[in-house]
């Protein structure tokens, strides 16, 4: 890695990451994804949409000890194929952070993180990892989510045939996109291998999923899977690059 790459690398520690994963018909998702990005279809013309909530700590340039930021983040994302590498990637449909400074800085380089207000309350134990996990705030309306870990973790996530395939699809992609229409912003990340544990959803009020026409109200309380990652080191490589294209297609994955 050269000096410029190291200067432009942002590092952080992610804590208390929650994934709510919904398997929805691909036509719901296609209008929100840049034209050149094929959707990563898993079966029957369906694709996963995930709500990902986390705490980012010690966010800074790798070679600079300061400034350093801490903030909460919430993402609505789906899964696509990177047209450059052919590898699976994620496409962020909507993202918000609780730091106004970070929201401003990321927007200047083409990463549209909105400023959003929400609180996170986490209680852990020695049996389930997460005795309770609660968030509440305002983002295009009031929202709240409550979840908890399971005592006997199970990562059987249909339609994947094994745990490794499910985790690779949902948690481990190393390429991300933002954008819409004929343009997309591409960036790459790095993290050690992440091994999530299972959880379950207790309650949810999250109107954004419905307003984006991704998940219907009656579907929201029954995600395909709920996953927790207690902690992970994470790196983002900047600057993001812009790509253009008009490919509109679906690609089966897994």
Domain boundaries of the chain, sorted by first residue: 3-252
Largest CA distance in the chain: 51
Residue 144 has a pLDDT of 97
Whether pLDDT at 244 is above 80: no
Residue 20 has a pLDDT of 98
Percentage of residues in the chain having pLDDT higher than 90: 59
Whether pLDDT at 240 is above 80: no
CATH fold of 3-252 reads: Acetoacetate decarboxylase-like (2.40.400)
Residue 13 has a pLDDT of 93
Residue 1 has a pLDDT of 46
Strands 39-41 and 88-97: unpaired
Residue 243 has a pLDDT of 80
Whether pLDDT at 139 is above 70: yes
- HEC-encoded secondary structure of the chain: CCHHHHHCEEEEEEEEEEEEEEEEEHHHHHHHCCCCCCEEECECCEEEEEEEEEEEEEEEECCCCCCCEEEEEEEEEEEEECCCCCCEEEEEEEEEECCHHHHHHHHHCCCCEEECEEEEEEECCCCCCCCEEEEEEECCCEEEEEEEECCCCCCCCCCCCCHHHHHHHHCCCCEEEEEECCEEEEEEEECCCCCCEEEEEEEEECHHHHHCCCCCHHHCCCCCEEEEEEEEEEEEEEEEEEEECCCCCEEECC
pLDDT (mean) for 224-240: 88
CB 59 within 8 A of CB 184: no
For 52-96, the pLDDT digits (tens) are: 999 999 888 777 666 788 999 999 999 999 998 899 999 999 999
CB 79 within 8 A of CB 39: yes
- Which is more confident, 69 or 219? 219
- Residue 152 C-beta-side C-alpha neighbours within 13 Å: 1
Residue 103 has a pLDDT of 92
pLDDT (mean) for 220-232: 94
Position 108 confidence tier, pLDDT thresholds 50, 70, 90: confident
Residue 158 has a pLDDT of 84
Whether pLDDT at 206 is above 60: yes
Position 44 confidence tier, pLDDT thresholds 50, 70, 90: confident
């Amino acid at each position: 890695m050269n000096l410029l790459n190291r200067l432009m690398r942002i590092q952080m520690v992610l804590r208390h990451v929650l994934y709510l994963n919904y398997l929805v018909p691909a036509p719901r998702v296609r209008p929100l994804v840049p034209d050149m990005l094929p959707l990563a279809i898993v079966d029957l013309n369906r694709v996963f949409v995930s709500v990902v909530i986390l705490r980012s700590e010690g966010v800074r340039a790798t070679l600079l000890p300061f400034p350093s930021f801490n903030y909460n983040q919430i993402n609505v994302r789906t899964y696509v194929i990177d047209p450059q590498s052919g590898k699976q990637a994620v496409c962020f449909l909507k993202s918000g952070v609780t730091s106004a400074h970070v929201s401003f800085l990321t927007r200047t380089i083409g990463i549209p993180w909105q400023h959003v207000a929400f609180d996170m309350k986490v209680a852990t134990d020695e049996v389930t990892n997460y005795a309770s996990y609660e968030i509440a705030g305002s983002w295009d309306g009031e929202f709240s989510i409550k979840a908890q870990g399971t005592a006997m973790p199970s990562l059987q996530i249909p339609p994947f045939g094994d745990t490794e395939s499910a985790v690779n699809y949902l948690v481990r992609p190393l390429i991300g996109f933002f954008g819409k229409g004929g343009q997309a912003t591409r960036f790459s990340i790095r993290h050690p291998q992440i091994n999530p544990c299972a959880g379950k959803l207790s309650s949810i009020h999250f109107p954004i999923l419905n307003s984006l026409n991704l998940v219907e109200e009656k579907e929201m309380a029954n995600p395909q899977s709920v996953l927790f990652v207690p902690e992970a080191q994470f790196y983002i490589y900047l600057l993001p690059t812009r790509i253009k294209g008009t490919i509109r297609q679906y690609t089966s994955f897994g």
